[in-house]
């Protein structure tokens, strides 16, 4: 099947490459000439596992890149809109890019097309896209609008697409449903997973994903509701972590007890410095704005967002507790991306914490396996960037762990202790066992667990010195 994907960002590029992997002929359209030039040269502009391999495998065959939207639309049966929907000042999603695409493709619709929302959009967006296309001259019977929300996690987006939990398709008639069923048939039938060239199947993959047919409005709400629920789960366990610190409990033990309940599950029960990225903050604001527009004050989401912001402030208190004063302190920082496995720094808790520490007069040396160049663009010369974790720790008053990269879970602890000026680690991702860190000679702070230190120090330090409340 011939497919156009409009937008070559995280969602659009992964969607285009994965549809090509499934055997479809795909044109990814963008108006950013520098990005198109890089893609045509075989470069992968984002850090995403398996994506460079798919781009190399299909570029020039089943995957092309173009700036001619109308030509691509005329030659396709399905058009996926995957452009940005950033937050406006009032929290609502800015749909101007989607509107611009809808206007432009209207002149290219001659035979039947399915125009598919892939961007995360508020409810009723599908109706507005239809109105815009009709207003600009397209025959109403020559196209349908569908909603096909993405559930791609940065860092595992390719495997999320090719081995999904479910595929949600919002349509209003059988004609468009048939086309989208055919597009995804290699996944729903299991055909793709049986191919010798397929991307490795993750251990958590379902045998066969369920294709869920809904109305377009329901599909639009499913995406916002899913992200809101996951963000709520993160903020909930961070609030529990605060209680654990207050009463002397261990939040990891609490997580084990919660996560083994099949009704709750262990995923997203990860206490830390809070969520970030391009999706959760934006989608919660947009979902809250949609609810408010239709007469409902979604106060639960207000509290989810407040807890998330408070989590960063609480982490800064831990840093002060460990170092007493911050001005003039040299801090090593591990992690700049909003999560491990990606180079995305949008709404990254690490970046926000670093900025707050710089305002306090700290000197920062930072390392990230993938996000250094993107971070350099926003932090400029205020931060020194290192080539590895041990360089970041060299002669630092303390080391901060801010992103959950696998690389950071297996550091050479004796070497780390030698590099640091003082063996103090403040772990915002709970990557290490507190007792192990104490045994290795570290004073160790984490989230929702009591601070620990070596025995020879613990006996001489008053308990209240370690408290971070």
- Provide the β-strand partners of residue 170: 147, 214
The values of phi and psi at residue 398, to 5°, are: -165, 160
DSSP 383: E
Decide: residue 85, CB within 10 A, 0-12 exposed, 13-18 middle, 19+ buried: buried
Per-residue 3-state assignment (H helix, E strand, C coil) for 78-135: EEEECCCCCECCCCCECCHHHHHHHHHHHCCCCCCEEEEECCCCCCCHHHHHHHHHHH
Q: Which candidate, 469, 439, 429, places its Cα nearest to that of 333?
A: 429
Rounded Cα gap, residues 294 and 400, in angstroms: 43
Rounded Cα gap, residues 238 and 338, in angstroms: 16
Token couple for 423: 């063996």
Token couple for 77: 């049966």
- Provide the β-strand partners of residue 385: 366
Q: Which residue has the tokens 């502009």?
A: 45
- Provide the β-strand partners of residue 26: 3, 63
Rounded Cα gap, residues 469 and 467, in angstroms: 6
Assess contact for 93 and 282: CB atoms under 8 A.
Answer: yes
Token couple for 202: 């993750």
Q: What CA–CA distances, in Å, run from 123 to 216, 219, 224, 279, 291? A: 8, 8, 9, 16, 10
Assess contact for 399 and 418: CB atoms under 8 A.
Answer: no
Q: Distance from first CA to last CA of the chain, Å, rounded?
A: 59
Assess contact for 434 and 424: CB atoms under 8 A.
Answer: no
DSSP 298: -
The set of long-range contacts for 247-251, using a CB threshold of 8 Å and a minimum separation of 24, is 248/450, 249/448, 250/448, 250/449, 250/450, 251/430, 251/447, 251/448, 251/449
The residues annotated as belonging to the active site are 279
């Amino acid at each position: 099947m011939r497919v156009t994907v409009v937008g070559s960002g995280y969602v659009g590029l992964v969607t285009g490459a994965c549809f090509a992997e499934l055997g479809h002929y795909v044109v990814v359209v963008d108006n950013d000439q520098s990005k198109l030039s890089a893609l045509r040269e075989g470069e992968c502009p984002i850090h995403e596992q398996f994506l460079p391999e798919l781009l190399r495998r299909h570029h020039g065959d089943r995957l092309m890149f173009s700036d001619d939207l109308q030509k691509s639309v005329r030659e396709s049966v399905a058009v996926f809109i995957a452009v940005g929907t950033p937050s406006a000042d009032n929290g609502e999603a800015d749909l101007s890019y989607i509107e611009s695409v809808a206007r432009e493709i209207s002149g290219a619709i001659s035979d039947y097309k399915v125009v598919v929302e892939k961007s995360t959009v508020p409810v009723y967006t599908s109706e507005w896209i239809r109105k815009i296309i009709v207003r600009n001259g397209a025959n109403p019977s020559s196209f349908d609008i569908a909603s096909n929300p993405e559930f791609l996690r940065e860092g595992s987006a390719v495997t999320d697409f090719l081995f999904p939990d479910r595929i949600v398709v919002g349509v209003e008639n059988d004609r468009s449903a048939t086309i989208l069923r055919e597009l995804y048939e290699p996944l729903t039938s299991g055909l793709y997973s049986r191919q010798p060239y397929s991307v490795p199947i993750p251990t958590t993959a379902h045998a066969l994903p369920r294709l869920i047919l809904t109305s377009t409005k329901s599909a639009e709400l499913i995406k916002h509701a899913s992200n809101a629920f996951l963000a709520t789960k993160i903020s909930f366990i961070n609030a529990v972590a605060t209680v654990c610190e207050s009463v002397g409990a261990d939040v990891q033990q609490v997580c084990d007890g919660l996560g083994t309940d099949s009704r709750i599950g262990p995923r997203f029960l990860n206490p830390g410095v809070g969520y970030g990225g391009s999706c959760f903050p934006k989608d919660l604001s947009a979902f809250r704005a949609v609810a408010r527009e239709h007469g409902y004050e979604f106060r639960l989401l207000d509290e989810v967002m407040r807890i998330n912001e408070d989590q960063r402030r609480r982490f800064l208190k831990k840093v002060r507790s460990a170092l007493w004063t911050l001005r003039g302190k040299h801090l090593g920082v591990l992690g700049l991306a909003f999560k491990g496995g990606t180079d995305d720094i949008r709404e990254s808790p690490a970046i926000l914490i670093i900025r707050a520490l710089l305002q306090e007069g700290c000197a920062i040396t930072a390392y990230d396996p993938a996000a250094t160049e993107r971070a350099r663009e926003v932090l400029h010369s205020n931060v020194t960037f290192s080539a590895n974790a041990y360089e970041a720790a060299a002669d630092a008053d303390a080391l901060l762990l801010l992103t959950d990269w696998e690389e950071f879970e297996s550091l050479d602890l004796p070497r780390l202790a030698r590099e640091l000026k003082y063996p103090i680690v403040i772990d915002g991702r709970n990557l290490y066992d507190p007792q192990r860190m104490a045994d290795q000679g570290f004073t160790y702070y984490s989230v929702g667990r009591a601070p620990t230190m070596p025995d020879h120090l613990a006996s001489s330090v008053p308990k209240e010195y370690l408290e971070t409340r």
